[in-house]
């Protein structure tokens, strides 16, 4: 079982004549969607609201062949949203995610353990680390350590979004802790160079290897 941990968002993209088409997206979710299309068993560990919009998202997961059994609900929050604006061929993204229920997805260690049960591979991204906050990151790292002891592998896509972090020091601290529980690292050299000052891809590889 491949488990993706992260935030799903509601997407509104231009559909012509001043209209927008609604969809659901997110970096970890998109990865799971493609894996499910390939026939891989995939489960999404996230948190959404208790409203009709969130119901529609859970139905989307099920229709896509993604296990939604560990999606938790939050009566006080709903899903984050983003809107795509077009300027010729260029796309601009506007986000509303401060009240996203997914920000609380790592608040409960027991719920994390239940969501990761039976996982052979767990996929997490830097966006997930950014939105769950310091306590959520500690809970997530501890849960992944427990999952690895039971045979799971962890893949990590740093996917740096600097506007989600209070400062670069916080992002570096979080990534360092997470790389320590990572088996498969999927860094982008541009992001690594910007955050860490690496001069070459070889320097990035050496730094990550030194973290284990």
For residue range 54-78, list pLDDT tens digits in order.
999 999 999 999 999 999 999 999 9
Q: What's the confidence (pLDDT) of residue 203? A: 94
Q: What's the confidence (pLDDT) of residue 122? A: 98
Contact 96, 82 (CB under 8 A): yes
85, two tokens: 């604006």
What domains does the chain contain, in order, with CATH numbers?
2-8+27-77+102-210 (3.40.1190.20)
Q: What's the confidence (pLDDT) of residue 70? A: 95
From the number of C-beta atoms within 10 Å of its C-beta (0-12, 13-18, 19+), residue 147 rates as buried
Q: Is the dihedral of CA 12, 15, 21, 24 positive or negative?
A: negative
Least confident span in 42-46, 77-81, 90-94, 204-208: 90-94
pTM of the full structure: 0.91
């Amino acid at each position: 079982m491949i488990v993706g941990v992260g935030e799903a968002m509601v997407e509104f993209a231009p559909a012509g004549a001043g209209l927008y088409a609604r969809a659901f997206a997110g970096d970890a979710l998109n990865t799971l969607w493609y894996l499910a299309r390939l026939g891989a068993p995939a489960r999404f560990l996230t948190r959404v609201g208790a409203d009709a919009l969130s119901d529609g998202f859970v139905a989307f997961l099920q229709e896509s062949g993604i296990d939604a059994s560990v999606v938790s609900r939050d009566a006080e929050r709903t899903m984050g949203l983003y809107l795509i604006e077009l300027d010729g061929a260029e796309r601009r993204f506007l986000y509303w995610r401060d009240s996203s229920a997914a920000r609380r997805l790592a608040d409960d260690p027991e719920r994390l353990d239940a969501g990761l049960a039976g996982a052979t591979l767990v996929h997490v991204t830097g966006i997930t680390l950014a939105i769950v906050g310091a306590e959520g990151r500690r809970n997530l790292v501890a849960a992944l350590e427990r999952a690895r002891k039971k045979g799971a592998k962890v893949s990590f896509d740093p996917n740096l979004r600097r506007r989600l972090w209070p400062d670069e020091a916080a992002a570096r601290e979080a990534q360092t802790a997470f790389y320590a529980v990572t088996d498969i690292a999927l860094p982008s050299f541009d992001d690594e160079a910007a955050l860490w000052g690496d001069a070459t891809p070889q320097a990035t590889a050496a730094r990550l290897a030194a973290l284990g």
